[in-house]
Amino acid sequence: MTEVTREAFGRLPREEGAGTVEKFTLKSDSVKVEILSLGCIIAALETKGRDGAFADVVLGFDSLEGYTRKHPFFGAVVGRVANRIAKGRFTLDGQEYQLALNNGPNSLHGGAKGFDKVLWSPEVVPSGVRFFRLSPDGEEGYPGDLQVWVTYTLHGGELAINYRARSSRTTPISLTNHAYFNLAGQGSKDIYDHEISIEADSYLPVDDTKIPTAGIRRIRGWRSPSSRPRNWECGSISGFYGSVGKDVSGKGGQERRLLGLRARHAASGRSLEVHTTQPGLQFYTGNNLDGSLRGKGAAAYPKHSAFCLETQSWPDAVNKPHFPATLLRPGHEYDHTTWLLFGAA
């Protein structure tokens, strides 16, 4: 049985659009998650360890003020297109579109003011909360009025995130959540004591601006990075893995895939598995954190103090016809789900 409560978390300043930000708490016997109507942000996620003690395992801030300042997408839903679009440019039906360049020469996570920075309309649903917003035609340079629904539901130790969207014009779309995890508890100094396994049959080499090259590199079975500190510096550890996991039904398409990623913190016994309908996974180890941000409980967040597991389509797919398609056309629906399974042993 999941308990769902809501309360005010703060009010946005006028320059940020005004409006009250609400916090929704979903609570089961083994997991408690707090989600904000600003950016659909996962602000806290408490899960049990082997000893039965709860710990908050996601990075974030104690107050709304932290989320209105510049931060690296802590806990937020990003879009219209997660990851990078090369030179912020693409062509549809003979028309070229130019997006904001907010990551060197490229557009990242939806542009200068993406889905992570706006207030969504919430609705309590059984065992969860659904958020809605209309992204108007031309927002951040993207075509079409885009209706978007993001739904979080909690059942026992499983948190599901469903993304749905419809558009009035053809538009690229790839949505994900950008939570930063540390299974030892947020505020822990690093993730070197975590065991990580990723199952994928291919990965995408990238150039020096992190745009995939034309090639797709095939790999076999499990890719299991060592937890030794020196290996966390490797480019492959924060690379993009395509075609994640194995399809349960063997039919492909929107079927749930097992197992995109498995993470385990041996000392506490906490574990996390990721299942998804998405075709790819970006695994990122907080390489750009530098300790300057003070988070919950005044904790510093240094380099490699958390990892992200962004289930999504492939980066720059709108410019690469041989990548899985990211175009949503009128009359069709974008519909993807990611499941996060928390355990302790």
pLDDT at position 248 is 37
Per-residue pLDDT band for 255 (boundaries 50, 70, 90) equals low
Other CB atoms within 10 Å distance of the CB of residue 240:
23
Dihedral sign for Cα 218, 180, 85, 318, please: positive
- Residue 165 annotated in ligand binding: no
- Residue 300 annotated in ligand binding: no
* Cα–Cα distance, 196 to 179 (Å, whole number): 16
pLDDT at position 218 is 76
Domains of the chain: 3-344 (2.70.98.10)
Query: Above 60 in pLDDT, residue 168?
Result: yes
Q: Is 310 labeled as catalytic in the residue annotation? A: yes
* Cα–Cα distance, 119 to 18 (Å, whole number): 9
* 143-153 pLDDT tens trace: 999 999 999 99
Catalytic residue among 139, 273, 310, 336: 310
* Cα–Cα distance, 263 to 226 (Å, whole number): 12
* 28-82 pLDDT tens trace: 999 999 999 999 999 999 999 999 999 999 999 999 999 999 999 999 999 999 9
Determine contact, residues 268/255, Cβ cutoff 8 Å: no
Catalytic residue among 46, 109, 178, 265: 178
pLDDT at position 118 is 96
Note the pTM of the prediction, 2 decimals. Answer: 0.91
Following DSSP, what letter does each residue of 52-64 receive, concatenated?
S-EEE-B---SSH
